[in-house]
Amino acid sequence: MSRRWFLRKAFGMLLTMLAVSFLVFTILELNVDDVAVKVLGQFSTADQRQAWLQENGYTAPFLLRYLRWLGAFVTGHWGTSTYYREDVLTLIAPRLAASGLLAGAALLVIVPVGLLMGVIAGVREGSVVDRLVSVFAIVTTSIPEFASAVFLTALFVFWLGWLPGVSTMADGFHLRELVLPVGVLTLYSAGYIARITRSSMAEVMQSPYIRTARLKGNPLRRVIMRHALPNALITPVTVIMLQIPWLLSGVIVVEVFFAYQGFGTLLYQAALNTDIYLIEACTMVSVVVVVLTQVASDLMYAWLNPRMSFGSSGRAAGSG
Amino acid sequence: MSEPPARAAQWLRTNDGSRLHPAVEPLARDALQHRTDRRSVLRVLSWLGVSIASARGVLGMPAAGAAAGPAPRRGGTLRFVCSVQQMTDPAATTWIEASNLFRNSVEFLTYVDSDNVTHPYLAESWHPSEDLETWDFKLRAGVRWSNGDPFTVEDVVFNIRRWIAPGSKSPNRTTFAAITAIEPLDELRFRLHLARPVCSLPEHLYAATCPILHRKFEEQGANWPRNPVGTGPFQLTDYHVGRLAVFKRRPGYWGQPAYLDEIRYLDLGTEIATHVAALAAGQVDLLYRLTISELDLVERFPEMQLLTEPSAQTLVMRMQQDKKPFDDIRVRKAVVLSADREQMLRFAYRNYGVLGEHHHVAPFHPDYFRLPPVKRDVESARRLLAQAGYPDGIDLTLALGNTQGRYEQDTGQILQQNCAEAGIRLSLQVVPAAQYWTIWDKVPFGMTYWGHRPLGVMVLELAYRSGSVWNESHFSNAKFDAALDHALGILDPHERSAAMGDAERILQEEAVMVQAYFPKKFTVAGAHVRDFRADPQDYYRMDKVWLA
């Protein structure tokens, strides 16, 4: 793991940000008139919209506007949201923290549940437990989040009356309000991790060194914990790391359904309201999150498998 | 009322003690002799500045909500699920939800209750000239703005001039196009000069875009939430678009103080089932809107109060007359003749509503005129299409945004099937709700939701008068404009309705729109929310609401 590797990663991230930001700007350019409609309202006249676009610099040439935005963004001036009427930077920070909280809580449940189910099923391949875990995993990963959100709400809010129906955290943090969104995310994600862990674990359990360890008289528990698990975890860890960007910016359905004021709802509102600067900023944050989790994933990979090294291609690679 | 009608009418009084308008006594007599509906007459009398108490007494109509109930309890926080939208300039607001927020802090010259009776508010009294072209208003004395300034005629002059200015971006510019001048008479009195008679002027002054803002609104940045000065019973204390708005009771309010300590408007997004879940879990107290899709769910919870009200809200599938192929009246007529209104009401809204007649005036509008029944005629539709040069049918696209709920798309799908029978291949362009409002007045064929207006003439004035700001169908017809002018100046509800018949007929004959039904309005509150009534216009004053 060299400094050069980190530099390459950072350079790759900047290049991606540049490309993505230009692409997003270009796409939004198609509807630039909509910005004025969103700001001035649907009943504003064409003259008023034109005047607003002019006043706010939207009539300047496309490339010039993009460069202006880029310059301001790099220097920390992320603009003002036309929908929320607030500074984009101050808007994003608490939303990202809220999504981080939801993602953290979800991972705290998803990872142990998924790994435990996968390990149990993988160790006893073909058993009833294995079959049950497999069926559960297939069923839960097949149900989209919006459907399980409706199902869990019907059960725990309308029928049993045990849980709150929305997770606005309007009066401060309430753990109870996290239960349903975390539940939906767990149902969707834990089964997937269980399936990956199961197949990885089953494969490792067939390896000669595990058989050797068993023949030496080591108890099964010790064989699993010391020999099988570290190797079997490599694939699930990659999958878990890939869940992080999804949990931070991709769980729009869950956040919107439970009115959770996170990064997902912010991006959703920004997109619906053609809030150009907010969409750009959210996209940039998403790129950073994706790249950072990739880096973390590579580091984790190397830690779990010391035979891995960071090659000159900038990717983690097996050294043989 | 045991007294003879001629004598009873003499007990009527105006709010300022001035002489009655000459039309008042004949109107009251007609009502007492059962020649005219009393509620319609009460409404007209309120326009003419007659004291509502005296009118109710003479007409033998008890005051609304007069039944004795438990004494209201003061205090508490009400949590109201409602979109929290931008409301920078209340006079230019485009959303009723936003107006309900600032309605807590800024007030109007008049107040129209849910029975459509106009009451004094910031204006204590008014009286029109005989020809209804000059209106004198007197403001309430002793009213102060929340910043301590006295409320005077200067504030009103600032607002009305701003509404009708040529560059005004407020829809009030169209509504009050008849006002030619506003003349201050003294600190508390002013006079409005009109180019043509408008008998319902006081009712128009309670439109969502007519709150009276402080005279220095523009000088101080023209951004109301940043400088939320008002004369009303609540003060805005916290405001985040898309999330939360908090209003607290304001000490020193000129009127009776509100019962609630605080109102918290929570924006929970557009998923109404989620709002119902929040109400079921006790996280909120009141929902702004319920759609037909959640009705069954709510009916299962006896602890929820389902509030419903007939409303002239509607979906208008209008065709732009200056865009091809709708510039050919035969194509428009073919679409209208294909539409099955009964099917749309039955399947898209489960018969909760009344049928429309393709002219946007509801049967319960006091100025509605009954025209011959509208009949579906697929054969004629086919023939018209062939005459228009489309013997093999035509491809059309209807844009819609489900801005009020999924029933919009259901209605569009029924029209699609209806049109198929006549050879019209209709495709639906469904866009996200927020996106629809960027194209509502651009698409040649679009389905637009229109909110309730108390009078048919009001909505026709806004949506179909030539050159009107909200004229999305680009309809322009001098005869129609003249019919509207005529109707606007008639006081007698019967005569006005007859005059409106001309306007309705022109809209039908010109096949401006498919307007199938007027869906009922639903909302829902927790059992502990008291004195909150569904309002056909969704205009909610919260100062009388309390929590048990």
Tokens describing residue B96: 């009723």
Best to test chain A binding among B95, B283, B284, B287 (most A CBs inside 10 Å): B283
Residues B69-86 have a mean pLDDT of 91
Residues B264-281 have a mean pLDDT of 92
Q: Is B274's Cβ below 8 Å from some Cβ in A?
A: yes
B69: Cα separation from own chain's centroid: 29
Q: Which of A41-55, A164-178, A219-233 has the lowest mean pLDDT?
A: A41-55
| Integer Rg of chain A from CA | 24
Q: Round to whole Å and give the CA distance between B101 and B539.
A: 10
Residue A210 pLDDT > 50: yes
The closest alpha carbon to B224, from B238, B215, B213, belongs to B213
**pLDDT tens-digit profile of B410-421?**
999 999 999 999
ipTM for this model: 0.80
Q: Which of A68-72, A309-313, B507-511 has the lowest mean pLDDT?
A: A309-313
Residue A316 pLDDT > 50: no
Q: Report helix, strand or coil for B63.
A: coil
Strands B529-530 vs B314-319: parallel, antiparallel or unpaired = unpaired
Q: DSSP letters along B288-320, please?
A: EEE-GGGHHHHHT-TTEEEEEE----EEEEEE-
Give the pLDDT score at A145. 87
Q: Which of B444-453, B492-501, B510-519 has the lowest mean pLDDT?
A: B492-501
Verify whether the Cβ–Cβ distance A166 to B437 is below 8 Å.
Answer: no
A257: chain B residues, CB-CB within 8 Å:
271, 274
Best to test chain B binding among A42, A50, A82, A83 (most B CBs inside 10 Å): A42
Residues A287-298 have a mean pLDDT of 84
DSSP annotation of B211: P
Give the pLDDT score at B3. 54
pLDDT band at A149 (very low <50, low <70, confident <90, very high): very high
Residue A293 pLDDT > 90: no
Best to test chain A binding among B163, B223, B241 (most A CBs inside 10 Å): B241
- The residue among B244 and B534 whose pLDDT is bigger is B244
**Are the C-beta atoms of residues B194 and B142 closer than 8 Å to each other?**
no
Q: DSSP letters along B232-273, please?
A: SSEEEEEEETTTEEEEEEPTT-SSSPPS-SEEEEE---S-HH
Q: Round to whole Å and give the CA distance between A303 and B217.
A: 63
Q: Is B441's Cβ below 8 Å from some Cβ in A?
A: yes
Cβ count within 10 A of residue A171: 11
Q: What does pLDDT average to over chain B?
A: 91
- Least Cα separation, residue B266 to chain A (angstroms): 8
Locate the chain A residue with the closest alpha carbon to B297: A158
Q: Is B269's Cβ below 8 Å from some Cβ in A?
A: yes
- The residue among B191 and A234 whose pLDDT is bigger is B191
A83: chain B residues, CB-CB within 8 Å:
86, 241-242
Give the pLDDT score at A315. 47
Q: Which of A34, A150, A166 sits opposite B283 (nearest CB)?
A: A166
Give the pLDDT score at A307. 67
Q: Round to whole Å and give the CA distance between B459 and B204.
A: 11
DSSP annotation of B220: T
Q: Identify the bridge partners of residue A254 per DSSP, sorted by sequence position.
A: none
DSSP alpha helices (H): ranges in A158-310?
175-205, 208-215, 220-222, 229-232, 234-245, 252-257, 263-272, 276-304
Give the pLDDT score at A311. 53
pLDDT band at A317 (very low <50, low <70, confident <90, very high): very low
Give the pLDDT score at B13. 87
Hey, which bits of B272-406 come out as E strands?
286-290, 304-309, 314-319, 353-355, 394-400
Q: Report helix, strand or coil for B191.
A: strand
Verify whether the Cβ–Cβ distance A165 to B277 is below 8 Å.
Answer: yes
pLDDT band at A17 (very low <50, low <70, confident <90, very high): confident
Verify whether the Cβ–Cβ distance A273 to B434 is below 8 Å.
Answer: yes
Helix, strand, coil % over all residues of chain B, rounded to 5: 30, 20, 50
**pLDDT tens-digit profile of B227-268?**
999 999 999 999 999 889 999 999 989 999 999 999 999 999
- Least Cα separation, residue A25 to chain B (angstroms): 18
Q: Which of B267, B281, B432 sits opposite A165 (nearest CB)?
A: B281
Q: Which of B93, B268, B273 sits opposite A168 (nearest CB)?
A: B268
Tokens describing residue B247: 């209003």
B215: Cα separation from own chain's centroid: 26
Helices A88-123 and A234-245 sit at what angle, rounded to 10 degrees? 150
Q: Which of A45, A86, A170 sits opposite B244 (nearest CB)?
A: A170
Best to test chain B binding among A34, A40, A43, A266 (most B CBs inside 10 Å): A43
A151: chain B residues, CB-CB within 8 Å:
none
Verify whether the Cβ–Cβ distance A40 to B169 is below 8 Å.
Answer: yes
| Integer Rg of chain B from CA | 24
Hey, which bits of A36-186 come out as E strands?
none
Verify whether the Cβ–Cβ distance A41 to B93 is below 8 Å.
Answer: yes
Q: What is the pTM of this model?
A: 0.84
Q: Which of A224-228, B102-106, B232-236, B463-467 has the lowest mean pLDDT?
A: A224-228
Interface of A with B (CB under 8 A): 31, 33-34, 37-45, 48, 83-86, 150, 153, 157-158, 161, 163-166, 168, 170, 256-259, 261, 265, 269, 272-274
Question: φ and ψ at B516, to 5 degrees?
Answer: -85, -40
A161: chain B residues, CB-CB within 8 Å:
280-281
Verify whether the Cβ–Cβ distance A86 to B241 is below 8 Å.
Answer: yes
